[in-house]
Amino acid sequence: AILFRMQSGITQEFCQQIPKVELHAHLNGSLSNKTIKKLLDRRRDLKISTAAFEKGEQRTMGDCFEMFKVIHSLVDSTEVIYEVTKDVIEEFSADGVKYLELRSTPKGLVESGMDKRRYMDAVVGAIRDYKHDNDDVIDVKFLPSIDRGRSIKDAQENLKLAEEYSISCEDIVTGIDFSGNPYTTDAAKFMPVLQGAQRVGLKSAVHLSEVKDRSDETRMFLSVPPDRIGHGTFLTDEEDVKSSVLESRIPIEVCVSSNIASNTSPPEHIKHHSVWWMGQEHPCVVCTDDKGVFSTGLSSEYFIIANALSLSEEQTLKLSESAIDFIFADENMKAKLKQIWKESKKDEVLEITFVTCLSCLDMKN
């Protein structure tokens, strides 16, 4: 049996040290202050207003989407996309992430000659190069996003690209993300795209009920069904939706800081909807959403959840390990990750043995 330290409360340091899986990270929302500052310094000509960034706790969901617009104006060429993708992978890796699924909306920009295909190539190229240059310390997949704020034509193009790259880069592109401003009300038009993704064997992570009163839309998307649910903040509002999700066992990607900062969840961590789902033993995966926009990191999110639920170290590590079952990758990747968790438990035992020996010596002296 594995021994874990008996202590009350999980530390941020412990959450940093354990291996982790990140499954819900929007590339442009994940840019750190350091990366944004670097880009702002380079593009003083744009005279960008950073007002939405400075609102802190007063921020609304609308302000978050204003921030994305600012970031998008800075990330305007394939060179910058390549560079920021590497920065983001580096930061997740430094935070103890061993497997990362990055999602991003392919975009074209006539001025810089960037089209969607070049966008895809830049992200895939950065992932390949980062892994190659850093001895495979982290595995990274890329889920092209479909933005519900854009047109159906745009969505179909992204699906086509996702399908094509899932064949030419099958080790990297394994599924799609469906996201965008949740206040748009005509999401039904994207049903054929989600059904199309399923038909061609792409996994799908779908933002569902991130804001109130989206139950009809949620019922419709659940009928596909998605492979993972993003946020699911208001799924419990309607009895039939709640029981159908419970029954389906579709994992929920939980992003506590994001929900609080965008005012869709009360500020008390214990009142976050994930506490209810975890209480039902429904599969939940702790994620960041937009670690830059919401000033967070995956270990901070584990710290929040572990303390809200009064988890022990052993339970926290088990929670991070449970995410492996829900990754959009094959069984070999799952086995590789499970081995990393197994090794980390051995390290834990060795550390305890070492500390125990030291205290024995101390007592003798």
Question: Where do contacts with ligand 6MZ occur on this chain (CB under 6 A)?
Answer: 26-29, 64, 68, 104-105, 145, 147, 179-180, 182, 207, 210, 258, 262, 289-290
Q: Are 182 and 214 in contact (CB under 8 A)?
A: yes
- Determine the Cα–Cα distance for residues 319 and 73; give it in Å rounded to an integer: 37
Q: What is the nearest approach in angstroms of ligand 6MZ to the Cβ of residue 170?
A: 22
**Which residues fall within 8 angstroms of residue 253, CB to CB, at 6 or more apart?**
23, 24, 205, 228, 229, 230, 231, 232, 284, 285, 287
Q: What is the nearest approach in angstroms of ligand 6MZ to the Cβ of residue 317?
A: 28
Backbone angles phi, psi at 22, to 5 degrees: -110, 120
- Determine the Cα–Cα distance for residues 127 and 172; give it in Å rounded to an integer: 8
CA nearest neighbour of 281 among 246, 306, 234, 331: 246
Q: What is the nearest approach in angstroms of ligand 6MZ to the Cβ of residue 293?
A: 7
3-class SS at 170?
Answer: coil
Q: What is the nearest approach in angstroms of ligand 6MZ to the Cβ of residue 17?
A: 28
- Determine the Cα–Cα distance for residues 250 and 233; give it in Å rounded to an integer: 14
Nearer to ligand 6MZ, 269 or 313 (CB): 269
- Determine the Cα–Cα distance for residues 184 and 193; give it in Å rounded to an integer: 17
Q: What is the nearest approach in angstroms of ligand 6MZ to the Cβ of residue 319?
A: 22
The conformation of residue 330, written as its DSSP 8-state character, comes to: -
Nearer to ligand 6MZ, 257 or 316 (CB): 257
CA nearest neighbour of 297 among 257, 253, 341: 257
Nearer to ligand 6MZ, 262 or 300 (CB): 262
3-class SS at 113?
Answer: coil
**Which residues fall within 8 angstroms of residue 199, CB to CB, at 6 or more apart?**
none
- Determine the Cα–Cα distance for residues 130 and 134; give it in Å rounded to an integer: 6
Q: What is the nearest approach in angstroms of ligand 6MZ to the Cβ of residue 345?
A: 34
- Determine the Cα–Cα distance for residues 306 and 17; give it in Å rounded to an integer: 14
Give, in degrees to the nearest 5, the angle at Cα 297 between 49 and 95. Answer: 125
Nearer to ligand 6MZ, 29 or 196 (CB): 29
Annotated catalytic residues are 210
Nearer to ligand 6MZ, 180 or 196 (CB): 180
**Which residues fall within 8 angstroms of residue 355, CB to CB, at 6 or more apart?**
none
Nearer to ligand 6MZ, 155 or 245 (CB): 155
Nearer to ligand 6MZ, 190 or 341 (CB): 190
Q: What is the nearest approach in angstroms of ligand 6MZ to the Cβ of residue 104?
A: 3
Q: Are 98 and 138 in contact (CB under 8 A)?
A: yes
